[in-house]
Amino acid sequence: MWEYTEEVMDHFLNPRNVGEVPDPDAVGEVGNITCGDALRLTLKLDEQERIVDARFQTFGCASAIASSSALTEMIKGMPLMDAAKIKNQDLADYLQGLPDQKMHCSVMGMEALEAAVADYRRRKGLPVVEDPGTRLAAMPGGKVVCKCFGVTDTLIERVARDNRLTTVEEVTNFTKAGGGCRACHPDIQAILDRVIAEREQADKIAADKPRKLTNLQRIRLIEETIDREIRPSLQMDGGDIELVDVDGGTVRVALRGHCAGCQSANFTLKLFVEEKLKEFVEPDLTVEEVKA
> Among all residues, which ones are annotated catalytic?
35, 105
Q: What is the pTM of this model?
A: 0.65
Question: Coil, strand or helix: which one is 85?
Answer: coil
Q: What is the 8-class DSSP label of residue 101?
A: G
pLDDT tens digits along 39-85: 999 999 999 989 999 999 999 889 999 999 999 999 999 988 788 87
Q: Of the candidates 135, 166, 200, which is a domain's last residue?
A: 135
Q: Are residues 203 and 222 in the same domain?
A: no
Q: Among the three residues 118, 135, 152, which one is the final residue of a domain in this structure? A: 135
Q: Are residues 2 and 123 in the same domain?
A: yes
3-state secondary structure of 257: strand
- The domain total for the chain is 3
Judge if 234 and 285 occupy the same domain.
yes
Here the CATH number for the domain that contains residue 51 is 3.90.1010.10
Q: Is the pLDDT of residue 150 over 80?
A: yes
Q: Which of 85, 118, 135 is the last residue of a domain?
A: 135
Per-residue model confidence as pLDDT tens digits over 198-225: 888 877 766 765 567 888 888 999 999 9
Domain interval for residue 240 = 215-289
On whether both 164 and 270 belong to a single domain, the answer is: no
Angle at 184 between CA 183 and CA 188, to 5 degrees: 150
Please spell the DSSP secondary structure of 105-154, one letter per residue. HHHHHHHHHHHHHHHHHHHTT--S-SSGGG--TT-S-S-EEETTTTEEHH
